[in-house]
Amino acid sequence: MSFLLNPFIYAAAAPSCTYISSTNLVSHWPMDGDSTDTVGGFNGTDTNITYGSPFVFSQSAGFNSASPSYQDMGNSLSLQAAVFSVSCWVYVSAINSAQAIIENYGTVSNGPYRLYINGTNSTFFASIGNTDVVFTTGIASANTWMHVVLTRSSATVAKFYVNGTEYNYGSSTSRTSATSRFVIGSRWNNTGSNYPDSYLNGNVEDVAYFSRALTAAEVTQIYTGGTVTGCRISNP
């Protein structure tokens, strides 16, 4: 008796993923066709969002800066922990204006945190409380996926990472809890009549929020997972 072997059965197996610890993983939005939170149930409400390419893993959420385009995950205090990490992949189609990646701020000068791109000099900047910290000129690039992480481990220690590299945040990390919203792709102000604004022109994928500070090794593992092994931040 003879057998015909199907060569596709013996094709190289996909890499085995080793996910980082899910301890204190509050929310995970993979962006696989919608803004469902696969961990915490803080599902997003989409305004003018498309899903598809480009992507790191499967699909991404697409934002259009020419019209109101954002995702609103609500105003839960569970997304405003004193010790936290927020992680995401971002793809900017054009760096020509101030663009919000993730905003949980509440008012212009108060609130937990925000992540932005400054269009005038291709920098990232982040805020905890009312302090804006600008990071090295030129590190934001158009038409390429970038991995961004902001962590806060105490009242005096915060760290910011781009593609696994740490940039000095500084020691001014005082912040407050506020009646603010976790919004992706736009700036938000609870009291202003001209908000939302600062719309992102690009895509976001695999957003996660932890109520703990990720370690440098974990940040590197997430970045390597997206660029080498094709592994997400966790198993959705």
Segment 88-137, tens digit of pLDDT: 999 999 888 889 999 887 665 556 888 999 888 899 988 887 777 888 88
Portion of the chain with pLDDT greater than 90, in percent? 51
- Cα end-to-end span (Å), the chain: 44
Report the DSSP pairing between strands 50-52 and 60-63.
antiparallel
The letter for the amino acid at 214 is L
Answer whether residue 4 shows pLDDT above 60.
Answer: no
Give the span between the Cα atoms of 9 and 172, in whole angstroms: 56
CB environment 123-159: b (16+ within 10 A), e (fewer): bbbbbbbebebebeeeebeeeebbbbbbbbbeeeebb
Quickly name the fold that domain 24-229 has: Jelly Rolls (2.60.120)
Kindly report, residue by residue over 49-88, the tens digit of the pLDDT: 999 999 999 999 999 877 789 999 998 989 989 899 999 9
> What is the residue whose two structure tokens read 């590299």?
165
In 3D, which of 223, 171, 37, 183 has the Cα closest to residue 99? 183
Question: What pTM does this model have?
Answer: 0.89
pLDDT of amino acid 123: 92
Give the span between the Cα atoms of 195 and 122, in whole angstroms: 23
- Cα-Cα-Cα-Cα dihedral sign, residues 211, 89, 158, 77: negative
Strands of the sheet with 131-134, listed across from one edge? 45-47, 70-72, 183-184, 99-104, 113-118, 123-128, 131-134
Question: What's the mean per-residue pLDDT of the chain?
Answer: 85
Kindly report, residue by residue over 130-189, the tens digit of the pLDDT: 777 888 888 999 999 999 999 999 888 889 999 999 998 877 677 666 667 899 998 876
